[in-house]
Amino acid sequence: MAITIKTPEEIEKMRTAGRLAAEVLNMIGDYVKPGVTTNELNDICHHYIVNVQQATPAPLGYGTPPFPKSICTSINHQICHGIPSDKILKKGDSLNIDVTVIKDGYHGDTSRMFHVGPPTVAAQRLAEVTQECMYLGILQVRPGATTGHIGEAIQKHAEQNRYSVVREFCGHGIGKRFHEDPQILHYGKAGEGIVLEQGMVFTIEPMINQGKRHLKILPDQWTAVTKDHMLSAQWEHMILVTEQGFEVLTERAEEAGWQDRIRERFKLA
């Protein structure tokens, strides 16, 4: 499938879809507490997307076998595509909630980590470094850069922290379809992959493991878990390539100022 370049009208619709997906993550945070089940979190998000946002949860019925729920909830050693269930969250768990909405025909896709009660030192550090990996990848985005610039920045930071990068899943173009070209690998070398152009929209969604990178898929055919059962973390944003660089279509108010903070911490221009 060819890479689509979005028109100004399409970009406006993707801004709306991105904002709605971000608002679901903002909304659900208050409910992530010891004692809640991931099914309850799913049902709250489903209701909000359908009835408040008048949008559609893209995961529900997606793929083969059809994904059975409206969000993905991936706990502790689960890497991604965790299926909400009657499992009760307990103090010290950490989880990724991944939300994708369809509004006016266009997708908005974003995810973040949550801690249930106070995090363990190990879970906190993994979640923080993984978020930094995502931000460092985003800062590479501009016309003329390659997807390899994004992957290299992410891989370097993960491996400098003695973490590993999951290879089996990647970021993706997005628009009228949930998953479009190009693939955005979270590892690689500057200059590899495709050259970024103004008007492309894609996700950057690194999955970073505390131990080895290898994974297995559970018999439900969706849930990816670390083979060594060590922790995994993921953060995801949807990015537009602009004339000057990028626009984060799923940014949350809570993140304001992240570019300056990351440039300062990593001594970037």
| Residues numbered 77-96 forming contacts with ligand MF3, rule: CB under 6 A | 81
Based on the shown chain and the rule CB under 6 A, indicate whether residue 6 belongs to the binding site for ligand MF3: no
| Residues numbered 142-201 forming contacts with ligand MF3, rule: CB under 6 A | none
Q: Nearer to Co ion by C-beta: 23 or 98?
A: 98
Q: Nearer to ligand MF3 by C-beta: 10 or 109?
A: 109
Interface with ligand MF3 by CB under 6 A: which range of 36-44, 57-65, 121-129, 156-164?
57-65
Which burial class, exposed, middle or buried, applies to 124 when counting CB atoms under 10 A from its CB (0-12, 13-18, 19+)? middle
Which of residues 78, 94, 96, 100 is near ligand MF3 by CB under 6 A? 100
In the complex, minimum distance from the CB of residue 222 to ligand MF3, in angstroms, rounded to a whole number: 6
In the complex, minimum distance from the CB of residue 222 to Co ion, in angstroms, rounded to a whole number: 13
237 Cβ neighbours under 8 A, 6+ residues apart? 110, 134, 138, 203, 204, 205, 248, 249, 250, 251
Q: Nearer to Co ion by C-beta: 16 or 111?
A: 111
Q: Nearer to ligand MF3 by C-beta: 29 or 35?
A: 29
| Residues numbered 149-208 forming contacts with Co ion, rule: CB under 5 A | 203
Interface with Co ion by CB under 5 A: which range of 13-21, 31-39, 41-49, 229-237?
229-237
| Locus of tokens 């991105």 | 18
Measured distance CA(49)–CA(103) in Å, rounded: 10
171 Cβ neighbours under 8 A, 6+ residues apart? 150, 183, 184, 185, 186, 202, 203, 204, 205, 236
Q: Nearer to Co ion by C-beta: 58 or 117?
A: 58
Measured distance CA(160)–CA(162) in Å, rounded: 5
Which burial class, exposed, middle or buried, applies to 70 when counting CB atoms under 10 A from its CB (0-12, 13-18, 19+)? buried
# residues near Co ion by CB under 5 A = 5
| Locus of tokens 């994708």 | 100
Measured distance CA(132)–CA(148) in Å, rounded: 17
As a residue count, the chain comes to 269
Which of residues 236, 237, 248, 249 is near ligand MF3 by CB under 6 A? 236
| Residues numbered 60-79 forming contacts with ligand MF3, rule: CB under 6 A | 62-63, 67, 72
Which of residues 93, 109, 132, 251 is near ligand MF3 by CB under 6 A? 109
Measured distance CA(202)–CA(209) in Å, rounded: 22
| Residues numbered 93-112 forming contacts with Co ion, rule: CB under 5 A | 98, 109, 111
Which residues sit at the interface with Co ion, rule CB under 5 A? 98, 109, 111, 203, 236
Which residues sit at the interface with ligand MF3, rule CB under 6 A? 59, 62-63, 67, 72, 81, 98, 100, 109, 203, 205, 222, 236
